[in-house]
Homo-oligomer: A and B are copies of this chain.
Amino acid sequence: MVINFQEQAEAMIRRAGDRATSGRVRILALLLAEHRAVTHHEIEDRLSGEHRLDRVTLYRVLEWLNEKCFVHRVVSDDRVWRFRANVETHPHHHAHFECTRCTKVICLDDLKAKYEGPLPAGYRSHEIELTVKGLCAECG
């Protein structure tokens, strides 16, 4: 299944009724092609070959993609945000695996996590995030 992520990205952005700038298209395409959460830094490196993109612009595009729900953010223990495209049905309850050695993060899509215990009085939950930590295949 060969997909032109560039075109897919542009279509998604246009459907949202916003400007399809080259930066937005390239970044979203990159994230769509990736099957894991990627750091700002990695994206910057990846894009440095082509027409280079400013650090700040990258931050702003990522923030925008997040607002538009094309992407979501994950924070892991290294305190760095990672971004991942919201492909197909990616509901609000998702789990991540984080490798404690290489700090790589992947999404565990077949999630079966629940929080059973009660919350304190007056507390309301609307999202549950589960992170499994351990060693990935390369580091294990």
* A115→B130 contact, CB < 8 A: yes
Q: Mark A53-75, 1 if CB is under 8 A from B, else 0.
A: 00000000000000000000101
* B110→A123 contact, CB < 8 A: no
* A136→B123 contact, CB < 8 A: yes
Q: Mark A92-122, 1 if CB is under 8 A from B, else 0.
A: 0001010010000010101111111111111
Most chain B beta-carbon neighbours within 10 Å: one of A76, A95, A128? A128
User: Nearest CB to that of A79 among chain B residues?
Assistant: B79
Q: How far is the CB of A12 from chain B (nearest CB, A)?
A: 24
Interface secondary structure of A, over-half rule: loop
* B133→A125 contact, CB < 8 A: yes
* B125→A132 contact, CB < 8 A: yes
Check if A21 is an interface residue, CB within 8 A of chain B.
no
Q: How far is the CB of A57 from chain B (nearest CB, A)?
A: 21
User: Nearest CB to that of A117 among chain B residues?
Assistant: B110
Q: How far is the CB of A104 from chain B (nearest CB, A)?
A: 11
* A130→B129 contact, CB < 8 A: yes
Q: Quick one: which of B75, B119, B131, B132 contacts A77, CB cutoff 8 A?
A: B75
Check if A3 is an interface residue, CB within 8 A of chain B.
no
> Which 4 residue pairs across A and B have the least CB separation, nearest first?
A122-B137, A112-B116, A125-B134, A127-B133
